[in-house]
Amino acid sequence: MVLIMADELVKIDHMTKKYDENTIIEDLSLTIHEGEVVVIVGPSGCGKSTLLRCINGLEPIQGGSITFRGESIDGKSKHINEIRQRIGMVFQSYELFPHKTILQNITLAPIMVQKRKKGEVEKEAEELLSRVGLLEKKDSFPRQLSGGQKQRVAIVRALCMHPEVLLFDEVTAALDPEMVREVLEVLLSLAEQGRTMVIVTHEMSFAKAVADRVVFLDHGEIVEEGRPVDFFEHPKTERAQKFLNTFTYDKVEKAK
């Protein structure tokens, strides 16, 4: 595959994130280009989710900078809501609004925040729902859906805002194994459409399939990054090798 490095969309520059005295991410730099799918992997607690939350201004940072098309991302600034409209985020626990129907969940922000016409938004929401196979659920409430269905709705809800980049924070981690696939297939089809995505995941075979670039994070720093074939087949660093080994099991040798 030929990678055409288009415009820089998100630029993280020497960023540091601390919780009180604990440094979660130290001096991290990463650039996401338009049309690129970046998958972030790493052991639990390595700071992957925190990094994603920083990109959306949900976490304040203590050093360096994060910019989106040159505009600074700062959770406290007045423009943050305008920037967030252009950055879609899907969470591990879906977080649909329980008191609204599926259709209302999707159309709320486009109507309230972007002031778009109700009819037009609903039409688009229905189209997107039918693409993920959930059109008949549009008048249901979130509690009537399975985890995988809720997560697909959450993805549609993010898409309906026409974001320029999508952030996925371990979107299958809370799902039963048989539901993981239906969600990941939605992500794969989004990648095929050429959308810019940053995906945090523990699903290694999926990461391999979807990523243009894999970033391996450990103890809050980028240990290794590269094309998925290189990273998964020939990890350069020992830490990455050790991490990837945790996903394979040796055949049990029974004592004779």
Partner 1 sequence: MRDLGIDVLFKGSNMLRLLEGLWVSMRISLISVVISMVLGLLVGALMTRKSKVVKWFTRIYLEIVRVMPQMVLLFIVFFGTTRVFGWNIEAEKAAIIVFSFWGTAEMADLVRGALISIPVHQYESAAALGMTELQTYVHVIIPQTLRRLIPLSINLVTRMIKTTSLVMLIGVVEVLKVGQQIIEANRTSSPNAAFGVYATVFLLYFIACWPISMLSRYLERKWC
Site string for partner 1, 63-102 (x = CB under 8 A): ------------------xx-xx-xxx-x-x-xxxxx---
Q: Which is nearer to partner 1, 148 or 228 (CB)?
A: 148
Distance linking the first and last C-alpha atoms of the chain? 50
Residues 184-223 that bind partner 1 (CB under 8 A): none
Q: Give the span between the Cα atoms of 154 and 152, in whole angstroms.
A: 5
Q: Which is nearer to partner 1, 99 or 256 (CB)?
A: 99
Site string for partner 1, 7-26 (x = CB under 8 A): --------------------
Beta-bridge partners for 214: 39, 226
Q: Which is nearer to partner 1, 84 or 213 (CB)?
A: 84
Regarding 149 and contact with partner 1 (CB under 8 A), the answer is no
Number of chain positions touching partner 1 (CB under 8 A): 25
In sign, the C-alpha dihedral spanning 132, 183, 218, 35 is negative
Binder of partner 1 out of 16, 34, 69, 108 (CB under 8 A): 108
Binder of partner 1 out of 58, 135, 188, 244 (CB under 8 A): 58
Asked if 23 and 34 count as a contact pair (C-beta separation under 8 A), the reply is no
Binder of partner 1 out of 1, 2, 4, 112 (CB under 8 A): 112
In sequence order, the 6+-apart residues with CB closer than 8 A to the CB of 200 are 39, 40, 41, 48, 49, 51, 52, 168, 169, 170
Regarding 152 and contact with partner 1 (CB under 8 A), the answer is no
Q: Which is nearer to partner 1, 67 or 93 (CB)?
A: 93
Regarding 48 and contact with partner 1 (CB under 8 A), the answer is no
Tokens, residue 68: 């989106």
Binder of partner 1 out of 15, 32, 49, 56 (CB under 8 A): 56
Helix pair angle (147-159, 118-131), 10° resolution? 130
Q: How far is the CB of 153 from partner 1 (least distance, A)?
A: 12
Q: How far is the CB of 64 from partner 1 (least distance, A)?
A: 22
Cβ count near 12 (within 10 Å): 21
Q: Which is nearer to partner 1, 58 or 209 (CB)?
A: 58
Tokens, residue 65: 């900078």
Residues engaged in binding partner 1 (CB under 8 A): 56, 58, 81-82, 84-85, 87-89, 91, 93, 95-99, 108-109, 112-114, 154, 157-158, 161
